[in-house]
Amino acid sequence: MPAEVEQITPLQALERQRRGALLIDVREDDERAGGMPEGAAGIARAALGQRIGELAGLRDRPLLTICATGHRSMLAASALRQLGYAHVASVSGGFRRWQADGLPVAAGAFDADAADRYSRHLLLPEVGAAGQIRLGKARVALIGAGGLGSPAALYLAAAGVGTLTLVDDDKVEKSNLQRQVLHADARIGMLKTESAAISLSGLNPRVRVEVRSERLRAANVEALIRGHDVVIDGADNFPTRYLLDAASRQLGLPLVYGAVHRFTGQVSVFDPRRADSPCYRCLFPEPPAAEDAPNCTQAGVLGVLPGIIGLLQASEAIKLVLGIGNPLVGRLLCIDALAATFRELRLPRDPSCPGCGSTAVFGGYEDVQQICAR
């Protein structure tokens, strides 16, 4: 069958293209992301049968196929002929020879660095070039560059989230390093935001890190998170939770919640854009009384645990940006590291919730006292 397909050189293809032939680059999305012949249409070979119809009125238009080296384009051309396209030729030597011959190349959706760096994302149909572009345009606010924020920030930066805003006013301490892997022994005493920016830029220089070295308060919460696509609560304290909960509702921003205690942790997503989504106060209507609150300064935690929870938060944030999968909305995922169990609790919206219930009244932001048992 392939023997029936006419083979032409890249230069002949260019000439035919100029006379009206349509050149189709049948390589995969991630391969084309680094660039393709100028004027070519990019349709992966597997999708050709399905998508060629989109280019209506092509029955009589000469078609040319090109791949990396000339093998897949032969198969593609053969398939097109079977679909009834009479004038089809394959470019021998493929894009490699096209480039070697110095013929015009259009930049792909990504430069070579991005195409290479994100190739494992580009291979996933659920992400692909469109999803990677979406990630690149995304703005994620990360409150806290500590135990939860460290893994979340590292993986979000690695994934190519375009802008990461880090909000934290603490400095790196030695006792942080057992779990806050964004930082380094040599950076003890440095602002966590600045230390984090060094690690994140080192991992992925394409990511823009915006540093906000201030404590989240009633007075600045809206200004700090406005304009983002997703907010991750990595602060793991009650004042921040109630502030972020209120602001996420006011601004309509999805909030990824995470908490850790000793060997256990929990994760959920509160998405005020969804009518069925609970909010943090559906779970904890009011801040705890002093006698019920954990002793926060000395509460121990297995160092790995915030790693697990922070990564689940990052995973949820990426899903929200891409609009894929099933977010943890209305579900509370509880993890027990000692038992090695993941338990999912249903977390329905509470109609009488003081935050999102039908009679709830927003009376402005309030700085909740940091409550500690001791």
* 195/233 Cα distance (integer angstroms): 19
- Contacts of 79-87 spanning 24+ positions with Cβ under 8 A: 79/45, 79/48, 79/49, 80/48, 80/52, 81/4, 81/5, 83/49, 83/52, 84/59, 85/52, 85/58, 85/59, 86/59, 86/60, 87/21, 87/60, 87/61, 87/62, 87/63
- For residue 263, the minimal CB distance to Zn ion (Å) is 28
Quick one: how far is CA 208 from the chain centroid?
Answer: 14
- For residue 282, the minimal CB distance to Zn ion (Å) is 3
Residue 241, interface with Zn ion (CB under 5 A)?
A: no
Residue length of the chain: 374
Residue number with the shortest CB distance to Zn ion? 353
Do residues 169 and 213 touch, judged by C-beta distance below 8 A?
yes
Catalytic residue among 279, 282, 296, 356: 296
User: CB-wise, 111 or 350, nearer to Zn ion?
Assistant: 350
8-state DSSP, 356: T
Paired sense of beta strands 63-66 and 36-37, if any:
unpaired
Phi and psi angles of residue 124, each rounded to the nearest 5 degrees, phi first: -85, 120
Do residues 236 and 170 touch, judged by C-beta distance below 8 A?
no
User: CB-wise, 21 or 356, nearer to Zn ion?
Assistant: 356
Do residues 150 and 310 touch, judged by C-beta distance below 8 A?
yes
- For residue 352, the minimal CB distance to Zn ion (Å) is 9
* 374/297 Cα distance (integer angstroms): 8
Sequence-distant (6+) residues with CB within 8 A of 15 are: none
Window 76 to 115, contacts with Zn ion (CB under 5 A) = none
Residue 35, interface with Zn ion (CB under 5 A)?
A: no
Residue 269, interface with Zn ion (CB under 5 A)?
A: no
Between 273 and 302, how does the x/- string for binding to Zn ion read (CB under 5 A)?
Answer: ------x-xx--------------------
Residue 353, interface with Zn ion (CB under 5 A)?
A: yes
Q: Is 334 a catalytic residue?
A: no
Using CB under 5 A, which of the segments 84-92, 98-106, 288-296, 349-357 binds Zn ion?
349-357
Residue 355, interface with Zn ion (CB under 5 A)?
A: yes
User: CB-wise, 207 or 279, nearer to Zn ion?
Assistant: 279
User: CB-wise, 125 or 348, nearer to Zn ion?
Assistant: 348
- For residue 349, the minimal CB distance to Zn ion (Å) is 6
Task: By CB under 5 A, name the one of 44, 66, 235, 356 that touches Zn ion.
Answer: 356
Residues near Zn ion (CB under 5 A): 279, 281-282, 353, 355-356
Catalytic sites, residue numbers: 296
